[in-house]
């Protein structure tokens, strides 16, 4: 003979106060876990931002158009413009005029670019740098108005 047992409903003997306390404890733990996760994520985000900023600051790319030209020329600078005209022709830089001025030379290129060259510096390297500057900015599509070699670093104006 098989006996059939009646299923009795499970009664929850916990009081409402105990239920509320358990709910608060569980919700407090969940809140603490979420807060901990957000804090760790925020700290990692700031740390990566600092590392990224530092890496950008150390990668300074500076266009230095001054090319070192090694030649047998000693540091004697001639006062005639024919040597500058020859160097401009060798470097495929078409020019309108080359004039001697109080600080050095003033060269006007065919495109209208004005170039100031200091006579106390090596003119061959200055003209080589001019050719490099003009090639670089022509590729970028910029029109150069003025190049000034009288300073330590060339000044380029557009």
Instruction: Tell me the per-residue pLDDT of 56-112, one tens digit each, with 9 for 90 and over.
Output: 776 555 555 655 544 444 344 445 678 888 888 888 888 888 888 888 888 898 888
Phi-psi region of 104 (alpha: psi -120 to 50; beta: other; left: phi over 0): left
> Model's pTM, two decimal places?
0.49
Helix (H, G, I), strand (E, B) or coil at 103: coil
- pLDDT tens track for 106-123: 889 888 889 988 888 888
> For the CA atoms of the chain, what is the radius of gyration?
39
Helices (H), the chain: 16-58, 82-90, 123-140
Three-class secondary structure of residue 147 per DSSP:
strand
Cβ neighbours around 158 below 10 Å, total: 8
The CA–CA distances, whole Å, from 115 to 63, 82, 145, 150 equal 18, 16, 9, 10
Distance CA 17, CA 21 (A): 6
Superfamily of domain 82-157 in the CATH hierarchy: Cell division protein FtsQ/DivIB (3.40.50.11690)
Strands of the sheet containing 146-148, edge to edge, are 95-100, 104-109, 114-118, 146-148, 155-157
First to last CA, the chain: 107
Residues pairing with 117 in the sheet:
105
């Amino acid at each position: 003979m098989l006996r059939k047992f009646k299923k009795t409903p499970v009664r929850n003997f916990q009081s409402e106060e105990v239920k509320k306390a358990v709910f608060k404890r569980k919700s407090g733990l969940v809140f603490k876990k979420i807060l901990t996760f957000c804090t760790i994520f925020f700290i990692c985000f700031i740390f990566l931002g600092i590392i990224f900023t530092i890496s950008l600051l150390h990668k300074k790319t500076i266009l230095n158009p001054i090319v070192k030209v090694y030649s047998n020329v000693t540091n004697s600078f001639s006062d005639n413009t024919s040597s500058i005209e020859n160097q401009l022709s060798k470097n495929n830089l078409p020019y309108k005029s080359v004039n001697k001025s109080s600080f050095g030379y003033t060269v006007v290129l065919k495109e209208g670019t004005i170039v100031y060259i200091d006579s106390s510096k090596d003119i061959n390297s200055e003209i080589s740098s001019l050719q490099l500057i003009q090639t670089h900015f022509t590729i970028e599509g910029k029109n150069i108005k003025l190049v000034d070699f009288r300073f330590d670093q060339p000044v380029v104006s557009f």
